[in-house]
C-alpha cells in the first residue's frame, strides 16, 4: 500500500468521495421512513407491512458491519470499498424498480448488507490517507457528514416523494455511486491494503453473527408492534439472539482467524471509546427518533414541518468543521468529549420543561443548541478511541466500533418509543383520575366548554384528548430528564481514557 498521504486537490477529491459514501449510507437509513405510507399504498400493502422496508435494511447492514475487518483482510480495503459502492448503486436501482413489497424488502436487505463496509472503510481510509497534521480535520469532516445524513434523510425523502415518486429516493444514489467508484479507483488503487489469506473461512462465526444480529434487529423493530414479551415470536427471537451472541463471543475468542476480533477490547481506549460511543448514541438516537414522532402525533405537525423543526441540530456541525479540527489540536480530547456530554445534558434538561404550548421557533432553536454537543462529540471521541490502534487493525476496529454504535442506536430508539407510549398511558391514567366533580380545575374546564355548547360525551371526548396530549408530553419530559442524567453520568467514563500525551506516543508507533 502507498503510505504517502494525499495532497492538495487530490486530498479534497478523495475526502469528497469518501464523505459521499458515508452520506449515502446514513441517508438510506432514514430516507425511506416518511415514504412508507406512499410505498405501502403504491404496492397495495398495509403500512405495518411497509415498515419491513426499513427493518430489513437495518438487518442486512447490522450483519455486514462486523464483517468489514474480515473482508478487508481477505480481499483488500480498496477492492471491498469499490465493490461495496458498486453493489450498493445496483441494489438502489433494483429497489426503485421493485413492483412488489416482497421484491423491495429483499432488495433492501441486500442493499443494507452490501452497504455495511461503507461507513467503517470511508473512516479508516480518511484516517490513513490524510496527512498527520490534518487527521483531526478528516475526523471532523466525517463527523459532520455522519450527523447531517440522518437529519437530511426524512426531509429529502419527504420532498422527493411528494414532488416526484418514492422510487426516486433510491435512484438518487446512482449518479453519486458512479462518481464515488471512479474517484476511489483513480485515487486509491495504488493504496490497496495487504491481503492476509487464511486456510479456513470462519463459517460458524458468520452463521452465528447472522442469527444473533438478524433476530435482535427484528425484535427491536417489531417488538412494540407485537407487544414485546406478550408475543411468543418476540420471546423466541430474543432467546435465539442471546444464545447466538453468547456462542459467537466464545467461538470468536477461540478461533485463529475470527470474523470479529474481540481481543481488540484489550486496548483500553478502544474498549472505553466503543462503550461511551454506544451509550451516548443510544440516548441521542432515541431523542432524534422520538421528537418528530411527538411533533406529528401530538402537536399536529406535518412530516415535512416536523423534519424542518428538528433539522437545525445539523447546522452547527456543518459550519464548524474547521473550528472543531483546530480545537482537537489544542484541547484535550477527553475534555472536549466531557464538554459535549455536559452540553447534551443541559439541553435535555431544558427539553424536559416543555409544555404543550411550546412554539415551533423554540423547538428549532433548542435543536440548534443540541448541535453544540454534536460538534465536539463524535470526532474527538473517535480520535481518542483509535489513537493507538494500528493501521493493520483499523478496518476491524472501525467495523466493530460502528456495529456497536448502530446496534445501541436501534436499542435506544426502541426503548424511547416503548417508554414514551407506556409512560404516556401511566400519566393519562393519573390525569383522568384527577378529573371529577370535586376538582376545581375540572369544574372550570367543563364550565368553559359548556359556554360553547360542548357538553356530555362530546365534552368528555375533548377532555380525554387533552389528557392524552398532556400525558404524552409528560412522558416525553420524563425521557428527556432521564437522558440528561445519563449524559452527565457518562462524563465519569471519559476520564478513564489514557492521557493525551500517552496517546500521541502510541499513535507515533502505528
pLDDT reading at 272 higher than 60: yes
Distances (CA, A) of 407 to 34, 42, 385, 403, 476: 22, 31, 18, 6, 23
Please give the grid coordinates belonging to residue 177: 455511486
pLDDT digits (tens, 9 = 90+) for 125-144: 887 778 877 777 777 787 77
Q: How many percent of the chain have pLDDT more than 70?
A: 90
Q: What is d(CA 344, CA 489) in angstroms, rounded to the nearest whole number?
A: 12
Residue 23 contacts residue 145 (beta carbons within 8 Å) = yes
- Give residue-wise pLDDT tens across range 30-81: 777 777 778 888 888 876 777 778 778 887 888 888 888 888 888 888 899 9
- What pLDDT shows up at residue 510? 37
pLDDT by residue (tens digit) across 169-181?
Answer: 899 999 999 999 9
Cell numbers given for 141: 469532516
Cell of 189: 488503487
- pLDDT at residue 118 tops 50: yes
For residue 264, pLDDT over 70 is answered with yes
In which band, very low, low, confident or very high, does the pLDDT at 283 lie, cut at 50, 70 and 90? very high
CATH architecture label of 1-195: Up-down Bundle (1.20)
Mark out the alpha helices in 298-390 (DSSP H runs): 303-310, 315-319, 321-330, 333-351, 360-375, 378-385
Report the pLDDT value the prediction gives residue 179, as an integer from 0 to 100.
Answer: 94
Alpha carbon distance 21, 185 (integer Å): 13
The model's pLDDT over 418-442, given as tens digits with 9 standing for 90+, comes to 888 889 889 888 877 777 666 666 6
pTM of the model: 0.80
Q: How far apart are CA 46 and CA 36, in angstroms?
A: 10
- Alpha-helical (H) ranges within 164-257 are 168-171, 173-188, 203-222, 232-254
For domain 262-510, which architecture applies? Up-down Bundle (1.20)
Q: What is the pLDDT of residue 502?
A: 42
Mean of all residue pLDDT scores within the chain: 83
d(CA 139, CA 132): 12
pLDDT tier, 94 (very low <50, low <70, confident <90, very high otherwise): very high
> CA-CA distances (angstroms) from residue 510 to 139, 305, 388?
17, 48, 7
Amino acid at each position: 500500500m502507498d503510505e504517502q498521504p494525499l495532497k492538495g486537490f487530490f486530498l479534497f477529491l478523495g475526502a469528497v468521495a469518501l464523505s459521499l459514501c458515508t452520506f449515502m449510507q446514513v441517508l438510506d437509513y432514514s430516507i425511506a421512513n416518511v415514504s412508507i405510507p406512499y410505498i405501502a399504498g403504491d404496492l397495495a400493502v398495509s403500512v405495518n407491512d411497509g415498515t419491513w422496508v426499513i427493518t430489513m435494511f437495518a438487518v442486512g447492514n447490522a450483519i455486514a458491519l462486523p464483517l468489514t475487518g474480515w473482508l478487508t483482510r481477505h480481499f483488500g480495503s480498496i477492492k471491498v470499498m469499490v465493490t461495496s459502492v458498486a453493489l450498493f448503486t445496483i441494489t438502489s436501482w433494483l429497489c426503485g424498480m421493485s413492483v412488489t413489497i416482497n421484491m423491495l424488502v429483499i432488495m433492501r436487505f441486500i442493499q443494507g448488507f452490501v452497504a455495511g463496509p461503507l461507513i467503517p472503510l470511508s473512516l479508516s481510509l480518511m484516517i490513513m490517507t490524510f496527512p498527520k497534521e490534518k487527521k483531526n480535520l478528516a475526523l471532523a469532516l466525517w463527523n459532520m457528514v455522519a450527523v447531517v445524513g440522518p437529519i437530511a434523510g426524512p426531509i429529502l425523502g419527504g420532498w422527493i416523494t411528494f414532488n416526484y415518486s418514492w422510487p426516486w429516493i433510491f435512484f438518487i444514489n446512482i449518479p453519486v455511486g458512479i462518481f464515488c467508484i471512479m474517484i476511489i479507483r483513480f485515487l486509491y488503487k495504488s493504496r490497496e491494503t495487504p491481503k492476509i489469506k487464511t486456510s479456513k473461512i470462519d463459517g460458524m462465526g458468520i452463521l452465528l453473527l447472522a442469527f444473533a444480529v438478524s433476530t435482535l434487529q427484528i425484535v427491536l423493530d417489531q417488538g412494540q408492534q407485537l407487544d414485546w414479551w406478550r408475543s411468543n415470536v418476540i420471546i423466541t427471537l430474543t432467546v435465539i439472539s442471546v444464545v447466538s451472541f453468547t456462542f459467537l463471543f466464545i467461538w470468536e475468542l477461540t478461533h485463529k482467524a475470527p470474523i470479529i476480533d474481540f481481543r481488540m477490547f484489550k486496548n483500553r481506549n478502544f474498549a472505553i471509546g466503543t462503550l461511551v460511543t454506544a451509550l451516548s448514541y443510544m440516548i441521542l438516537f432515541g431523542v432524534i427518533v422520538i421528537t418528530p414522532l411527538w411533533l406529528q402525533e401530538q402537536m399536529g405537525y406535518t412530516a415535512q414541518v416536523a423534519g424542518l423543526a428538528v433539522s437545525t441540530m445539523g447546522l452547527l456541525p456543518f459550519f464548524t468543521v474547521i473550528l472543531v479540527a483546530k480545537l482537537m489540536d489544542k484541547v484535550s480530547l477527553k475534555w472536549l468529549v466531557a464538554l459535549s456530554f455536559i452540553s447534551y445534558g443541559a439541553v435535555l434538561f431544558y427539553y424536559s420543561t416543555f409544555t404543550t404550548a411550546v412554539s415551533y421557533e423554540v423547538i428549532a432553536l433548542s435543536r440548534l443548541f443540541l448541535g453544540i454537543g454534536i460538534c465536539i462529540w463524535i470526532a474527538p471521541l473517535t480520535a481518542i478511541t483509535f489513537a493507538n490502534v494500528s493501521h493493520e487493525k483499523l478496518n476491524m476496529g472501525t467495523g466493530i466500533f460502528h456495529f456497536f454504535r448502530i446496534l445501541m442506536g436501534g436499542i435506544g430508539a426502541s426503548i424511547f418509543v416503548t417508554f414514551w407510549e407506556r409512560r404516556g398511558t401511566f400519566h393519562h391514567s393519573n390525569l383522568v383520575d384527577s378529573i371529577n366533580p370535586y376538582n376545581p380545575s375540572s369544574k372550570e374546564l367543563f364550565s368553559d366548554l359548556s359556554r360553547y355548547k360542548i357538553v356530555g360525551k362530546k365534552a368528555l371526548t375533548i377532555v380525554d384528548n387533552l389528557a392524552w396530549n398532556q400525558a404524552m408530553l409528560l412522558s416525553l419530559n420524563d425521557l428527556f430528564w432521564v437522558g440528561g442524567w445519563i449524559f452527565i453520568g457518562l462524563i465519569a467514563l471519559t476520564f478513564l481514557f489514557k492521557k493525551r500525551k500517552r496517546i500521541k506516543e502510541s499513535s507515533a508507533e502505528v
